[in-house]
A and B are shown apart, each in its own frame.
Chain A
Amino acid sequence: MVHAVYGRPEAGKTTLGRIIAGLVPAFTGGTITGEILFGKEDVLKTKGYDLLEHIGMVFQDPDEQILMPLVEDEIVFPLESLGMNRPQIHEKLEEEIDFWDLDELRNVNPGNLSGGEKKRVLLAVLCAINPSVWILDETFEELDEQWRETLIQRAVASGKTIIILASKHIELFDIYIATWSVIHDNQIFQGSKDQVLQLLGDNWEYKKLHPSMPYISHSVFENPEPILSVRNLSYTYPQGNSDFTLFVDKLDIYRGKITAFYGPNGSGKSTLSKLLCGLLTPDHGEIFFPDNGEKHKHAAVGALQKFTGYLFQNPDYQIFLPSVKDELMYSLLQAGVDKDDAYRQAISCAELFGLQNPNEIPSIMSYGSRKRLQAAVCYLLDRSCCIFDEADSGILMSEYIRIVDLFVKREASLILITHDLRLAKKLADTVVVFQDGRAQEGYYD
């Protein structure tokens, strides 16, 4: 049976999952009362390692869970803990490597894989252990549509107890759900689908329930000119895990418009984004600014880096100062803005992005707040083009849309990297589809 536990980001879904898996409060501290029974065994009185064959969990952040230096070792490690013999381990290893299409990656360090590939490794581990209870903590995020569908089919076919902890992607598995729950105001409510979605209060597919869901403003430009163009580009990683090469024949990014990069894991979306902002240099072809009169002359790396802003999936990559205010003022002061003026701009921007306390310490703020802070920092940089790299993960859809809207109102060109075609169609003026390292523009009404 599939049990869905929904909740907004930071509602406590991960904590609940880890309590069920016997990992909290053992590793986090805190007090806990009550009991969780697995058969006759009280989970709260059992060590996490003794629950290995009973309860398995896929963590939301794969980097927190991957331990071994090779993909193959990652799958083998818990099977060795279970005391399986070599033929048994071999059979399970090959079965899961084959099912999750990891053969080419089996001798690769998992740390070098993309987010979606890491999730597949962790799912291979879970399926190899095949515990009685599967806890999937936002596991559908970062997986592309094909693997999301594969996962739900495998989970349903397993005959095991599946607990899905999620804040979105409800439409993927709602027909399979036996019980609906939602964490709301620190409490779990169980009820009908509509009751749960009403309490969740934020879902793309169920917008009719929530007319307050914001829409994106329309660009002010009627006939926009391209501000960044790509022609005949190719790029191969010098020491990559595979022979992947990216090809882009023609791509134009228009002033004030939204372009979505859509495609499966490893299809080249992030690679092209890094080329566009000057973090990588193409092997062949040009990335250039069409309006500077030097057509088809490849733009300098420094110029691209100052032209493009980037919202990384992980907001912590850019956060390092002791307060929200300091983070926001930093780039302004670097750019030579007067201190008082920088302070005023920082406070105003903090309000705009819903950062209530400008003296709060960023590194201990909630994930959603850190995402908003990262967006606010990028907003103040006032780049002509901004790339949102799966920036919707870990935050409410309404929050994501509001942030996108703020940038659109500022007339920035936006590139949204996403696995969600419906989201891409809904928000973007142009969708660029990636498949096997080839990027092609497609327009949608």
Chain B
Amino acid sequence: MIESSYHPGNSFVHRFDPRAKLFLLIAYTAAMFLPYQIEILASYTVVMILLALPAAGLRSAFSPLKVLLPIMLLIIILTPPFYKEGEVLVTYNNWILLTDTGLIRTCVLLSRFIGITYVFFIFFRSTPLNQVILTLRWYGLSMNAALIISMTFRFIPYITATYHRVSEAHKLRGSFQSGMWGWSRIKGLVPVLTSVLIQTMKSIPVMSMSLEHRGFGRASRRTSYQRLSGGRKLFTHLTFSVIIALILIIPIFLV
């Protein structure tokens, strides 16, 4: 989610106030954990995937699904055997492999997993990182906590980029190939991950040094250059997001 971070754009998702977006992100995530029927959860998930189209474009909108695929497969394989109740749909040698309850539970888990991933994906894709930090501070996060998050945003892509460079270096050394699968891939990943670990560990003490060299820790009060605009737009967007949040939780009262 963070690795594929902000891409500029002019969609309504991009123009939506980040404070209202963050409020909706929390509301949506909470709603996805309410005991809704699968139809409702699935519709919420579909809406979020559709929102990714204007936020990320057709080419990138489905990229999170590719990343999630291994975990989705694990959910599909491991969830159904834990549910023996309900109508039996698939058996093998008297073993119940799939019941209708197991099927529904699997779909519920998949919907939650995909929906929540997509809401974060859209948020980070459509919101510049400095606005994310300012939004968190607007909601009361301390300067130090905001700085930690800010550096995380900087270093997750850094570690990812290091991983890509190191794996490229190892491809040319013959110790790691793109087409490797299974055990050979795991074996091939050992040199890559070892090199990444060495690189990352070396960066920790110099990072503290650099922070102090940039004046972090001074007794005098820090100023803040970046600010989020307020006014009528903020009020409108926050009101709109509260209405959406209410719509998201209305079904719980109808069940």
Contacts and interface: CB of A to CB of B under 8 A. Distances in A.
Contacts of A18: 209
A52 interface: yes
B215 A70 contact: no
B212 A59 contact: no
A28 B154 CA distance: 23
A64 B129 contact: no
A28 to B, nearest CB: 7
Interface string A305-340: 110111010101111110000000011001100000
A27 interface: yes
A331 B175 contact: yes
Interface residues of A, number: 70
A70 B154 CA distance: 8
Contacts of A80: 222-225
Interface stretch (A104-112, A192-200, A205-213, A345-353): A104-112
Given A18-B209, A70-B128, A317-B195, A279 B171 contact: yes
Given A49-B212, A67-B214, A335 B174 contact: yes
Contacts, number: 172
B161 A107 contact: no
Nearest to B194: A320
Nearest to B172: A310
Given A319-B198, A331-B174, A335-B174, 18 more contacts: A27-B212, A48-B212, A59-B206, A69-B129, A70-B129, A89-B223, A90-B225, A107-B8, A109-B129, A110-B154, A279-B171, A314-B165, A316-B195, A317-B169, A318-B173, A319-B195, A320-B198, A377-B173
Given A49-B215, A381-B173, A381-B174, A79 B166 contact: no
Interface in A4-22: 18, 21
A424 interface: no
Interface of A: 18, 21, 23, 26-28, 47-50, 52, 56-57, 59, 63-70, 72-73, 76-86, 89-90, 93, 107, 109-112, 125, 239, 274, 277, 279, 301-302, 305-306, 308-310, 312, 314, 316-321, 330-331, 334-335, 363, 377, 381
B154 A49 contact: no
A63 B209 CA distance: 13
Nearest to B132: A69
Contacts of B225: 76, 79-80, 86, 89-90, 93
Contacts of B223: 79-80, 83-86, 89
Contacts of B165: 312, 314, 317
Given A27-B205, A317-B195, A83 B222 contact: yes
Interface residues of B, number: 58
Among all A-B residue pairs, the 4 with the closest Cβ atoms: A81-B215, A317-B169, A320-B194, A48-B212
B84 interface: no
Contacts of A319: 195, 198
Contacts of B66: none
Interface in B144-180: 150-151, 153-154, 157-158, 161, 165-166, 168-175, 177-178
Contacts of A279: 168, 171-172
Contacts of B215: 49, 52, 77-78, 81-82
Contacts of A109: 5, 129, 154, 157
Contacts of A363: 198
A109 B5 CA distance: 10
B174 A312 contact: no
Interface string B186-218: 000011101100110011011111111111111
Interface in B214-255: 214-218, 220-227
A276 B222 CA distance: 49
B170 A318 contact: yes
B214 A78 contact: yes
Contact of B172 (A21, A23, A57, A277): A277
Nearest to B195: A320
Nearest to B202: A316
Nearest to B154: A69
B191 A309 contact: no
Contact of B151 (A56, A63, A67): A67
15 contacts: A23-B209, A49-B214, A59-B210, A64-B207, A67-B154, A78-B214, A80-B224, A81-B222, A110-B154, A314-B165, A320-B190, A331-B175, A363-B198, A377-B173, A381-B173
Nearest to B221: A83
A111 B207 CA distance: 14
A378 B171 CA distance: 12
Contacts of A68: 150-151, 154
Interface string B1-15: 000011110000000
